[in-house]
A = this chain, B = another copy of it.
Amino acid sequence: MTAPLSPQEIAERIAEVMYANDMTSQALGIEVQAVAPGYAKLSMTVREDMLNAHKSCHGGMMFTLADSAFSFGCSAYNKMAVAQGCEITFLAPGRLGDVLTAECREQAQAGRTGVYDVEITNQSGVPIALFRGKSRQISGDIVPGLTPKDTAKP
């Protein structure tokens, strides 16, 4: 019989499993820098194929980075959750070669609803975008058996 995992160990294990299955984050070269319960920090380098018609980083690519950070942050408790909706505000353009970092922090949990804020900055620390995501926990664990059985009603 082994000791139960700590919340930090669970968050790290979930991140590994999720990243291994997240084809989009892999395809975009997104890297997981750090995770913790309710927290995730991911980075992405802006490539040629992430540029829009105006030669700056496509808003969808910035959103995808933020959305992945949101997903890793809100999954760190091993509870299955779906994104209900997200909002993004663009503050400054991302440029070819920029290394963008998205930091996701939990703002609130109320019942099965969670609110997570993500800030994207570039390699100079300039804020590039703010993102707010809303999640809803559904039945089931991400990695079955990793945490005590989910007995909450949907």
Residues of A within 8 A of B (CB): 17-19, 21-27, 48-55, 58-61, 63-68, 71, 75, 80, 82-92, 107-108, 110, 113, 115, 117, 119, 127, 130, 132, 134, 142, 153-154
Contacts and interface: CB of A to CB of B under 8 A. Distances in A.
User: Which of A87, A153, A154 has the most C-beta atoms of chain B within 10 angstroms of its own C-beta?
Assistant: A87
A58 B17 CA distance: 16
13 contacts: A24-B52, A24-B61, A52-B68, A58-B64, A58-B67, A61-B64, A84-B90, A84-B113, A85-B134, A89-B115, A91-B113, A92-B110, A130-B132
A22 B86 CA distance: 24
Number of copies: 4
Contacts of A52: 21-25, 68, 71
Given A60-B61, A85-B87, A117-B117, 13 more contacts: A23-B48, A23-B50, A24-B58, A52-B68, A58-B67, A58-B68, A59-B63, A59-B86, A60-B67, A82-B90, A84-B89, A89-B132, A91-B115
